[in-house]
Each structure stands twice: as C-alpha cells, then as structure tokens.
Amino acid sequence: MNKITAYIDGQYGTTGLQIQQRLSAHPNVELLSIPEAQKKDPELRRQFLNNADVVFLCLPDDASREAVSLIDNPKTVIIDASTAFRTDDNWVYGIPELPGYREKIKTSNRIANPGCYPSGMTLLITPLVEAGIVPKDYAMTVSAITGYSGGGNAMIADYQAKTGNDASQAAARLKNLDLNHKHLPEMTRVTGLKYAPVFVPTVANVEQGMLVSVALHAHAINGDAEKIQQTLADTYANEAFVKLFSLNDDSQLEDGFLAPTACNGSNRIELFVFASEDRIYLTARLDNLGKGASGAAVQNMNCRFGLDETTGLTL
C-alpha cells in the first residue's frame, strides 16, 4: 500500500514531539512538514491540513477548533489530542480496547484522542459499569499519580529547574483542588456513570509515568473482587497493549511499593486488582506520554487505516 501521509499541527509541544518520534520510525507513514522559513504562512498551513491523509492536532482546545474549521477535505482523517471534542457526538473517542469503540474508529475521520487519566480510569471502570457490577450512580473517587510532563512544556521547565528544597517540596503535590478537572466530562460520559467522580491527581517529581486508581467497596457494588478480575480478563483477553495482572499480584511491588514508571516508553497499560475483605482497589499503570497521549494517537491511526495496531509502537 502507499504510505500514509501525516501532518502534525503543533509538532513542537510535548505530545507533538512524541508523535513525531514514533511516526519517524513508522514503516507505513510519510511525515509532512512545513519548511522552517514558511511556518507562519497561513495558506500553506491550510494546504498541509487538507492534503495529508491524517492530521494530528496537538494544540490547545480553541486552536484545535480553529484548525478543524480550516479542513474542508472530507477524506482527511483528524486525530485531535486536545479536550475540545472528547464528548462531541460527531467524534469517536479513541480507545480501541473499549467494547464497541474499535469498529467506530475504523470508519471515522474524526477521532478524539483520550486524556491520560481517563485512559486508565475508563479501561478499569467501563466494563464494570456495562456488566452491572459498578452501579451507574456509584459515588466514585479517582486518584492518580503522574509525572510532570503531563503539564506540558511550561511545567516541564518549572520542575527541571527546581533544586534543593524546592525539588523536595515538589516531590508530590496535589493538583486541581477546585474539583473541576478538565477530564471529568469524558470520564463520566465514557464510563456511563451518572455523576462525575471526585478526582484529584498528584503530580510527582518524575518526568513521566502514571498510576490511576479507583477504590470500591464490595458491599456497595454488585459483585466481588473475583468477579471484577474475571470481567476485566474477559474484556481485554486479546488486547496487545493491555496487561492484566492476577488478583492481588505482588510481583510488581518493590518493598511494598508500586512505582508509576514501569510502562515508560511503551504503549502498554497494566491493570491491577487488589482486595482485602470488603475493600477493593483498582489501579492502571501507563506512560502518560505513551498510551496516555502520543502512543494512543498512533494506535488510533493504525486502527483507522487498517494496519496492525502495534505497528511503530513498543509493547
């Protein structure tokens, strides 16, 4: 087959650079790039947006909406990495592993790349809501630990400049304590929950890596840890990028600690179920720049163009 022509709008942001790195080594892709001297030419940008087979938008929300308005070629596939279209009925949410989503992605020219936190949360919870194990009106709390790269270039520069006491104080800090995180709408919509969860992430002084966790009480759901484990196993049995560990598997613990960095550099997401008596704790581990952003975008492209989804990606 002819190579897929791809253009990245916003290629110098964190996600854009990671997508560029992956596509540069992709055997089925030809990367298009506006010459340096012409980067501010709006008409040339419009031409690239319309002439590419696939366009990756790595822009703030308003800039993504503006870029989409410039694309009038009905054949151009858009994969948007912002939050602008993740709850838009005209766009398909880009997690192929979720039941029913892969077939939609294969035929859509408008794909909303998921957020990093929702990638972990929705893969853990959506099958349980669909199976009736977790009630739709469950009072859910989601917690997460993430590397600072998820905050973009400004946060990366801020953390990397910290030394001494400043670095120690930034080792782990709660963020979004207004309880209005921008990912709440997609978390709620994709999982099918009636109410948005309480969600407060912790930013750690590591560059990348992520743990997303949900605590459940067996008395408040319709099942137990064994039923949750089996449901997740059945849902993701044939998924190359999803690894589910056994119930209460401690093989990944080091002196009792679960580190957020083990999936870094890959498009893999690891799922864990821990339980004791009435208490159940679900955790997803992923690279916030991989399965949580750029790796997911490339996987969505592979899915849309009929390629093996693992092409150009590290398991």
| Phi, psi for 216 (deg, rounded to 5) | -130, 155
Whole-prediction pTM value?
A: 0.95
Comparing CA positions, the residue from 16, 10, 70 lying closest to residue 298 is 16
Exposure string for 197-208, b = 16+ CB within 10 A, e = fewer: bebebebbbbbb
Q: Tell me, what's the pLDDT at 151?
A: 85
Lowest mean pLDDT among 114-128, 163-177, 182-196: 163-177
Catalytic residue among 58, 116, 263, 303: 116
Model pLDDT for residues 264-286, shown as the tens digit of each residue? 999 999 999 999 999 999 999 99
The pair of structure tokens assigned to 126 is 């959506």
Q: What is the pLDDT of residues 176-202, one digit of tens each?
A: 999 999 999 999 999 999 999 999 999
Report the share of the chain in percent with pLDDT over 70: 100
Distance CA 52, CA 31 (A): 9
pLDDT at 169: 84
| Tens of pLDDT, residues 231-254 | 999 999 999 999 999 999 999 999
Q: How far apart are CA 15 and CA 24, in angstroms?
A: 14
Q: Is 116 a catalytic residue?
A: yes
Residue 189's nearest CA partner among 285, 98, 299, 295 is 98
d(Cα 283, Cα 215) in Å, to the nearest integer?
9
What CATH class is the domain 116-288? alpha beta
With contact defined as beta carbons under 8 Å apart, do 272 and 245 qualify? Answer: yes
Position 81 pLDDT exceeds 70: yes
At the topology level, CATH places domain 4-114+292-304 in Rossmann fold (3.40.50)
Q: Report the residue count for the chain.
A: 315
Per DSSP, helices labelled H in the chain are: 14-24, 42-51, 61-69, 101-107, 116-130, 152-160, 164-169, 184-191, 225-235, 295-304
pLDDT, residue 166, reads: 87
Summarised one tens digit per residue, pLDDT across range 124-145 is: 999 999 999 999 999 999 999 9
Given a cut of 90, whether residue 92 has pLDDT beyond it is: yes
pLDDT at 1: 67
Please state the domain extents for the chain: 4-114+292-304, 116-288
